Chains A and B, each alone.
Chain A
Amino acid sequence: MTAFDEMRPDGSTVRDPYQGYDGWLQSQDKARLTEKTGDAERVFRKTGITFNVYGETEAAERLIPFDIVPRIISGREWRRLTQGIEQRVVALNAFLDDIYHRQEILRAGRIPKELIAGNEAFLPEMIGVKPPGGVYTHIIGVDIVRTGEDEFYVLEDNARTPSGVSYMLENRETMMQLFPELFQQVKVRPVENYPQLLRQSLSRVRPNGCRKDVPRVAVLTPGIYNSAYFEHAFLADQMGVELVEGSDLRVVDGRVAMRTTEGYKEIDVLYRRVDDDFLDPLTFRPDSALGIAGIMDVYRAGNITIANAPGTGISDDKAIYSYMPEIVEFYTGRKALLGNVPTWRCSEEDSLKYVLEHLEELVVKEVHGSGGYGMLVGPAASKKEREAFAAKLKARPKNYIAQPTLSLSTCPILTEAGLSPRHVDLRPFVLVSDKIQIVPGGLTRVALKEGSLVVNSSQGGGTKDTWVLDD
């Protein structure tokens, strides 16, 4: 199975989007490039762009390796992708609105009722709640994989609290520091205004009752030990808003307010990076120290915008994912522009049988898992690992879905032996208010190990700067 290489599909001819870059690359000294890789690492360490790995006490802060070869997407490819993403995001929000109100898609029999009723990601507390502006998922990171010149698939819709956007921004910043001349030769569309767009987008979905000229926005973080803390601080900083923790907030006179050196000040829009479960100890997990007691009452009364809304997990759940083509068609009246990866739901008897018989060629994932934990990559697993996994599958089939091992496209990285192709995926970031905005770029994750298909940073993946060309 040979993968589609985005720079040299036939091993020699350089594809159009990479022409300009290749011209520059040919004129570079290899030793200097290797040196630049070291420079990049020093920049990241110095600025503290690290992530915490759960379960590792020593060296708990690690860098996500950064590769200096950009991943390049042409303007035409990008336009096509964004149309598909926009359509999908419209459908996701329409689906959420429907699921928490009339549930017409269930009545129409397009997706099974059990999938919603028995789903942990479905929050009964959200039934009948209309979020400000009617938007449920404001910030979405759609994971896209490519398998050929014109073949793009959505691998996951991250509609809860997608992370990684700070890497998109810092990767670009670092590239511009390292290779200023390159950006004069190749016209790359800018991503730097993402924090401003994010702030505007959040401000546009302020609560109806908010009469301020500038609504007060805050980013809610679980704190400095969270794996994405750097990103939370980075975004708050770049947006110029407060970075708050649950302990800074309380409900005062029916509004959520933060404790400041001048007393309590109310917050209008909360960009929360805390999971649903921990948001409100009075409504969800009572042992949560990360949330705000009573925030759900304020929310139901329409006095605060929570982005993303609680309960959006029902739309990006892996079991729901397999129904996305139906969902898109149901709400937009058109076929999905961006395809799904074929998915077997192990809850269905025939599928389970097929999956068990073909484990060595499939990728099996937990329905609620993320971060590459708890998954089986069939072709890479040993016989023993597959057998152990089969036992888990049989014990809780509902907990799993399976997909064919996709031959993800590759993009070269700089290794000691020169350029060498590695598998990549792409996470563009989408902002939803009364309009949909997609910053031209995204996070390209790359599996640094030769042949590996796992791009997650927690599993040895790295990142690349992602260029969308201005053509």
Chain B
Amino acid sequence: MLLGRTANGLYWMNRYIERSENTARLVDAGLRLALTRSADPSEEWASIVASAGASIAFKERHTDFTAENVSDFLLRDTSNPGSVMSVMETARNNGRMVRTALTRETWESLNEAWMSMKRMLAQPIDGRDLPKVLDAIKRETALIRGAFHGTMLRNEIFDFSQIGAFVERADNTARILDVKYYVLLPSVSWVGSTLDNYQWESILRSVSAHRSYRWVYDAEYKPTLIADYLILNGRMPRSLAFCYRNIAESLGFLASEYGVRHPCQDTAEAILGRLKVSAVKDIFDQGLHEFLTDFIGDNNRLGNEIAQNYRFY
């Protein structure tokens, strides 16, 4: 038994930690492209901002999609509620709220991450320091995850946290794919051209999958394989299938611990079922963009259903 508010706090704390890491990965991918492409990188930065779901807010603050503007906006601008700094602040506030549910190690790693980001992101980032800053953000979130997995009891507290992390991760992966879906479509892809290789690599890199892709597929980047990897591969830790296997499993644990099965479990299992039986060809036939749009909507609805079933509010 857990306070509904505590379950809510754990869920969002983990969503926000996951989000800050993903945002850092996105900026990292953008940076890599800006460094390797000779052509105007502003389009790439614009799609990074779109992946973060922040295009409108960005345009209210800036006119040009430059490395400086985008990294400032996505990492340290506290007027942007989705910036790493804002998100870490919210994660920590949630962590303080559920302090009694966390091990000392978990809380301290979160608190230390917040302190170090506050220090690091206090001043505008010098372009030369950007790689170092991105590494630090990824390292801090990895430390939190490590402390969490190493010390937390596998009980309902753990389950609600896992659900939060994976709902967020699924949302992020789907958004990254959706912003770039046209790059993967056969009709507009210029097979084999250098430009597309960069584009594809940027997708994989933003989910830290550019090396593991080769371990799994042992092949050149191919749009269908990339989509297969990030959507259907159950062993790829940021794929939609992987996220949903974990969500369904956590909901199953909760159901057996509480002795009650809630509708949200059916919803999660239905989504997982679709990811299990689909072939990537079916997804392309249905329309990649449509598939992703549906998924993002379903994922969002699942989050709300879980909140309702477990009395988050």
Contacts and interface: CB of A to CB of B under 8 A. Distances in A.
B115 A45 contact: yes
B108 A47 contact: yes
Contact of A261 (B7, B93, B96): B7
Interface stretch (A238-246, A396-404, A425-433): A238-246
Interface in A223-259: 223-224, 229, 233, 236-237, 242-245, 247-248, 258-259
B311 interface: yes
B62 interface: no
A237 B99 contact: yes
A152 B189 CA distance: 86
B277 interface: no
A35 interface: no
A224 B100 contact: no
B3 A244 contact: yes
Contacts of B115: 45
Given A260-B311, A262-B260, A248 B5 contact: yes
Interface string B76-110: 00000000000000000100110110001001100
A434 B298 CA distance: 57
Interface in A268-292: none
A20 B235 CA distance: 62
B258 interface: yes
A394 interface: no
Given A48-B111, A263-B311, A247 B97 contact: no
A46 B116 CA distance: 11
B4 interface: yes
B112 interface: yes
A265 interface: yes
B219 interface: no
Contacts of B104: 47
Which label, helix, strand, loop or mixed, suits the secondary structure of the B interface? helix
A325 B98 CA distance: 44
Nearest to B159: A261
Given A48-B111, A261-B311, A236 B100 contact: yes
A261 B107 contact: no
B35 interface: no
B258 A262 contact: yes
Contacts of A242: 3, 100
Contacts of A263: 311
A260 B3 contact: yes
A237 B1 CA distance: 15
Interface in A78-98: none
A247 B311 contact: no
A259 B111 contact: no
B99 A248 contact: no
Contact of A243 (B4, B100, B107, B160): B100
B284 interface: no
A377 B254 CA distance: 59
Interface in B137-185: 156, 160
Interface in B211-256: 254
Contacts of B156: 261
Contact of B112 (A46, A233, A245): A46
A259 B100 contact: no
B2 interface: yes
B1 A259 contact: no
Given A48-B96, A48-B111, A224-B96, A248 B3 contact: yes
Q: Which of B93, B99, B100, B258 has the most CB of A within 10 A?
A: B100
B111 A248 contact: no
A48 B258 CA distance: 33
B108 A261 contact: no
A385 to B, nearest CB: 37
A389 B2 CA distance: 51
B310 interface: yes
B1 A265 contact: yes
Q: Which of B2, B7, B96 has the most CB of A within 10 A?
A: B96
Contacts of A223: 97
Nearest to A240: B100
B3 A258 contact: yes
A261 B93 CA distance: 21
Contact of B2 (A224, A237, A260): A260
Contacts of B311: 259-261, 263
A242 B100 CA distance: 8
Contact of A245 (B5, B7, B160): B5
Given A46-B111, A47-B111, A248-B5, A261 B310 contact: yes
B5 A262 contact: no
A259 B108 contact: no
Contact of B107 (A45, A48, A224): A48
B152 to A, nearest CB: 14
B3 A259 contact: yes
A10 B302 CA distance: 73
Interface in A42-56: 45-48
A424 B65 CA distance: 58
Contacts of B96: 48, 224, 229, 233
Contacts of A259: 3-5, 311
Nearest to B260: A262
A247 B254 CA distance: 24
A190 B5 CA distance: 35
A261 B1 contact: yes
Contacts of B107: 47-48
The 5 closest A-B pairs by CB, nearest first: A233-B99, A237-B100, A261-B310, A259-B4, A224-B96
25 contacts: A45-B115, A46-B111, A47-B107, A47-B108, A47-B111, A48-B96, A48-B107, A48-B108, A224-B93, A224-B96, A236-B100, A242-B3, A243-B99, A245-B5, A247-B5, A258-B3, A259-B311, A260-B3, A261-B1, A261-B3, A261-B7, A261-B311, A262-B258, A262-B260, A263-B311
Interface of A: 45-48, 223-224, 229, 233, 236-237, 242-245, 247-248, 258-263, 265
Given A242-B3, A261-B3, A261-B156, 7 more contacts: A45-B111, A48-B107, A48-B108, A224-B97, A233-B99, A259-B4, A261-B254
